[in-house]
Amino acid sequence: MPAFTPRTILPRLVASVFALALVAGCATPPPADDKEAMVEWEQVNDPLEPMNRTVFAFNQAVDKALLKPLAQAYREAVPPYGRDRVRDFLNNLRSPIILANDILQGAPDRAVQTLMRFAFNTGFGIGGLFDLAGASGIPYHDEDFGQTFAVWGIGEGPYLVLPIIGPSNPRDGVGLVAEWLGDPVNLYIDRVGEDWAMWTRSGLAGIDKRESLLDTLDEVERTSLDYYSAIRALYRQRRDAEIKNSLGEKPTPGMNVSSAGGLSNESH
Amino acid sequence: MFSRRSLVAVFALLSLLALSPSARADATADARAFIQKLADTAMTTVAVKGLSDEERSKRFRALFVDTFDLPEIGKLVLARHWRAATPEQQTEFLKLFEDIQVYTWTRRFKDYGGETLEILAVAPEGETDMIVDSRIKREKLEPVNVSWRLRNKGAEGFRVLDIKVEGASMAFTHRSEYTSVIQSAGGKVDGLLDAMRKKAAQMSADNTAAAAAAAPSRAN
C-alpha cells in the first residue's frame, strides 16, 4: 500500500495545523469592557487569525505557482462542452454522499430528487457524463456533512484556513474528513485497490472547482483592500446560505441581512 | 374634550387600518418598479458596447450616486469607526468608497450584455426597508441570485442600502474587510483612508492600462 492514502495523510495534516497554531499564536481579543469591539470580535469569529493568515499566504503561494496555472490551462485546453461533461460526471459521483446527507438532514423531497437524478444520469446520461435529469427539471443540489452537522445544531467553531483546501472551520473540517473516509465511491475504489482513481477524482474535482472560481477570485483580489478578510467574510456568508439552502429557491420569510452576524443598525 | 380626543384617535386608527394594506401594496409595487428601472437603466446606459471607459464610468457614477444611499452605506460599513472619524475623514471615506465602487463596476459592466433581471419576491424588512429578491439571467452562464435591500427615504423615494450576491452582503463584506484594515493600522481610520487611496489609484491605473491594451491601434 502506498504511503499516501487518506488515512495516513489526515493525521499529518491535523498535526501540522496544531503545530502551526502553537507557533503563530492567537489574536488578542479586545478588552471586555469595550462592548462594540467585543461584538465585532465575536462576529469576525477568527481568534486564530495569525495562524490562518500564515496558512492563507502559503495557500496563495501554492495557488499562484500551481493551482491557478493548472485551472487556466484546463480552461484553455478543454472547451466548455468538455468541462461541462467533467463537472456533470463529478457531480454524479457525489450523489451517494448527497443522498446520505439529504436523509440525515430529514429532507425526503431532496433525497428523492438526488436518487432520481443518480439513477437517470448514471443510466441514460452514460455514467453521469450528461446531466439529463437537470435538463428535464430536477436540478442538482449539493450537500455535505458540514451542512448536516449545522442542521443538527452543531456550531461552526472558529474560522479556520486549511492548507490547500482553504477557508473552513472545525465543524466543516470534520465533515470533510467524514466524507473523505465514508464516501461510498471512494470506499469502493479503495476496496478494489485502484487508488489512482481516487486521486484522479480528487485532482479533477480540485481543478474543476478552481476553474469555476477563476474570475470570481480574481475580481475579489482586484477590488479588495485586504484579500484575506474579504475571503473570510464571503466564505462565511456563502456557507450560511448553503446551509439554509436559501439560494435559488423561494426566499424564507424571515430572511434578512443579519445572517452570519450581518447588518444591524448599530451604526447610529 | 375626552370624547373628542378619543374620537380623533379612533378615526386615526381606522384610517390607518384602512390605509395600511394598500399602502403596503403600493410600497411593494414601488420597490419592484425601482429595481426594474435601475436594472433597465444600467443595461441601456452603462452596459452599452463601444463606450469609452471614461464615458462608461461617468454614466455608472451618475446612476450609482442617484440610486444608492452612499452616506448610509458609509455608516453601515464603518460601523463604530464612523463616529470616531472626523467629518473630514467621513467625507473623504465616502468619496474614496464611491471611487472604488465606480472602478470596480465600470470594468464589470464592460463585459455585460444580454443579462436580464427577474424579480422573484418583494417583502418589507423592518419599518423602513424593503427586500427585493431577484435573479440575473446570463447568456450561457448560471443565473446569479441578487437580493436588494432598499430604504424608503420618504419624498426622495427608495435608495439601495445593500446588495446580497449569492447570499453574500456587500456591506457586511466591506465592513469586515475595512474593520480589519483599521485594526492592523492600530485602530486609526487614517490607516484605512491611506489604503483606500492607494487602492483607488491602483485600480484607476489598471483600468487605464486595460483600456490601452484593448485598443492597441490607438496606442500606436
- A37 inside 8 A of chain B by CB: yes
**Min CA distance, A190 vs chain B (Å)?**
35
**Min CA distance, B61 vs chain A (Å)?**
17
Is A55 a domain residue? yes
Classify each residue of B178-209 as buried b or exposed e, where b means 16 or more C-beta atoms within 10 Å of its C-beta. bbbbbbeeeebbeebbebbeebbeebeeebee
- A19 inside 8 A of chain B by CB: no
Domain with B186, as residue range(s), is 22-219
Is B16 a domain residue? no
Is A90 a domain residue? yes
Is B11 a domain residue? no
Confidence (pLDDT) at B215: 63
CA-nearest residue of chain A to B145?
Answer: A248
Residues of B in contact with A234 (CB under 8 A): 168, 173
Is B12 a domain residue? no
Asked whether the beta carbons of residue A233 and residue B177 sit closer than 8 angstroms, the reply is yes
Average pLDDT over residues B7-20: 59
Statement: residue A258 has pLDDT above 60: no
**Neighbour-count burial of A183, counting CB atoms closer than 10 A to its CB (0-12 exposed, 13-18 middle, 19+ buried):** buried
Average pLDDT over residues B186-205: 93
Is A95 a domain residue? yes
Domain with A116, as residue range(s), is 15-21+46-246
A68 near A60, Cβ under 8 Å? no
Is A81 a domain residue? yes
- B108 inside 8 A of chain A by CB: yes
Asked whether the beta carbons of residue B173 and residue A40 sit closer than 8 angstroms, the reply is no
Q: Give residues 113 to 132 of B whose Cβ lies within 8 Å of A.
A: 120-121, 123, 125, 131
Confidence (pLDDT) at B3: 63
**Min CA distance, B202 vs chain A (Å)?**
9
Confidence (pLDDT) at A252: 36
Mean of the per-residue pLDDT values of chain A: 85
**Neighbour-count burial of B79, counting CB atoms closer than 10 A to its CB (0-12 exposed, 13-18 middle, 19+ buried):** buried
Q: How many pairs of residues across A and B have Cβ atoms under 8 Å apart?
A: 111
Is A38 a domain residue? no
Q: Give the rounded percent of residues in chain A with a pLDDT score beyond 70.
A: 82
Q: In total, how many domains does chain B have?
A: 1
Contact partners, residue A215, CB within 8 Å, separation at least 6: none
CA-nearest residue of chain A to B73?
Answer: A267
Is A166 a domain residue? yes
Which residues, listed in sequence order, are joined to residue B147 by a DSSP beta bridge? B133, B164
Is B174 a domain residue? yes
Q: Give the rounded percent of residues in chain B with a pLDDT score beyond 90.
A: 57
Average pLDDT over residues B141-155: 90
Which tops the pLDDT comparison, B174 or B215? B174
Asked whether the beta carbons of residue B179 and residue A234 sit closer than 8 angstroms, the reply is no
Residue among B161, B194, B134, B201 at smallest CA distance from B72: B161
Question: What nine digits make up the cell of B115?
Answer: 443579462
Confidence (pLDDT) at B12: 61
Is A10 a domain residue? no
DSSP-assigned states of every residue in A222-236: HH-S-HHHHHHHHHH
Residues of A in contact with B176 (CB under 8 A): 43-44, 229-230, 232-233
pLDDT tens, A18-52?
666 666 667 778 877 777 788 888 888 999 999 99
Choose the closest CB to A225 out of B78, B133, B181: B181
Q: Which residue is associated with the grid cell 394594506?
A: B21
Confidence (pLDDT) at B21: 57
Q: In total, how many domains does chain A have?
A: 1
Average pLDDT over residues A46-65: 95
pLDDT tens, B23-61?
667 888 999 999 999 999 999 889 888 888 889 999 999
Query: In this structure, what DSSP letter does residue A265 have?
Result: S
Is B179 a domain residue? yes
pLDDT tens, A115-154?
999 999 999 999 999 999 998 889 999 999 999 999 999 9
- As a residue count, chain B comes to 220
